[in-house]
A = this chain, B = another copy of it.
Amino acid sequence: MSEKRHAVHNGRIIDEKDAVLPITLREVQSNFSVYEALRVIEGHVVHLGDHVRRLEESAAVIHLPLSKVDWQKEIDALIEKDHIVDATMRILVVGTKEPLWFITWSTLLTYPDSYYREGVDVTTYKGERFLPQCKTGNLLLNYLSREEASRQGAFEALLVDDEGLIREGSRSNFYIIKGNVLTTAPDDTVLDGVTRISVLRAARELGYSIEYRRPEKSEIFSADSSFISSTSMGAMPIKAVDGERCPMDRDKVAAICALVRKWERE
């Protein structure tokens, strides 16, 4: 792996340190941008089609003029340039008149095995994402809720909406398992996570029926298990909410996670 990282900027390979945005542009000041976070495993980018589709959908919702880009080709050029094997990659498109787009990468984001074996702590945070189905640069709520979780020693924050119901995490989707029912918030209230698609497919394959409904926090304590999912996490069991232990069935979550990860390599 080369010492100095590169990036792609509007079709050109650049030094990563030149992947910058002028603060004088109104679109930069206003987070008029969309993005995707991807996994590269053994030199192969995972579920690129799903990510590109979501990028285009996010752009369409906010009227961001996204030009046609051959993302596979651009990503492959960066993989080759920096001899990337495993990585977390990020596509960013800023909606200036001629959109500025970038592909950057960093060491593959992974988590200790203990997070999957013992579960993670989460907190709750009052707030609703603006345009929940869009992956835009408007991320302050996500940032603040996650920082508050960190201050409380937790791994993730669950976002609770105005009606007191749980929709999703600051950087994850959220699920409850009870019997053979898996409950998660309806598509139009959350980010349609690329990993969420796999989680729901895995759950069906394992015999669960899916209930699309925003759960109350109290339901976590009468369920068999709850968990979160994201591109980086896969599926990760929750062991406590706001400092209070909750039921956890790590094997049930692990079975879902195994399928999610298996399909990534197909």
Contacts of A175 in B (CB 8 A): none
User: For A102, A130, A141, which residue has the most chain B Cβ atoms within 10 angstroms?
Assistant: A130
* Number of copies of this kind of chain in the complex: 2
A-B contact pairs, 19 of them (CB 8 A): A16-B24, A19-B23, A20-B20, A20-B22, A20-B23, A21-B21, A21-B23, A23-B92, A23-B104, A27-B143, A31-B137, A31-B143, A32-B144, A62-B140, A63-B147, A127-B130, A130-B140, A138-B139, A162-B162
Q: Which of A207-237 contact B (CB under 8 A)?
A: none
How far does the Cβ of A88 sit from chain B's closest Cβ, in whole Å? 11
Instruction: Decide: A140 near B30, CB < 8 A? Known: A104-B23, A130-B130, A162-B162.
Output: yes
Confirm or deny: A198 has a beta carbon within 8 angstroms of a beta carbon on chain B: no
Given the complex of chains A and B, what is the CA–CA distance between A104 and B136 in angstroms? 25
- List 20 other contacts, CB 8 Å, given A29-B92, A30-B139: A19-B24, A20-B20, A20-B21, A20-B23, A21-B21, A23-B92, A23-B104, A24-B104, A27-B143, A29-B139, A30-B140, A30-B142, A31-B31, A31-B139, A32-B140, A32-B144, A130-B140, A137-B140, A138-B141, A162-B162
Chain A: interface residue total (CB-CB under 8 A)? 36
Given the complex of chains A and B, what is the CA–CA distance between A143 and B63 in angstroms? 11
Confirm or deny: A67 has a beta carbon within 8 angstroms of a beta carbon on chain B: no
- Whether the Cβ atoms of B143 and A23 lie closer than 8 Å is no
Given the complex of chains A and B, what is the CA–CA distance between A142 and B130 in angstroms? 11
Contacts of A127 in B (CB 8 A): 130
Given the complex of chains A and B, what is the CA–CA distance between A139 and B130 in angstroms? 11
Confirm or deny: A97 has a beta carbon within 8 angstroms of a beta carbon on chain B: no
Contacts of A137 in B (CB 8 A): 29, 31, 140
Q: Which of A3-57 contact B (CB under 8 A)?
A: 16-17, 19-24, 26-32, 35
- Whether the Cβ atoms of A26 and B143 lie closer than 8 Å is yes
For A143, give its contact among B22, B32, B92 (CB under 8 Å).
B32
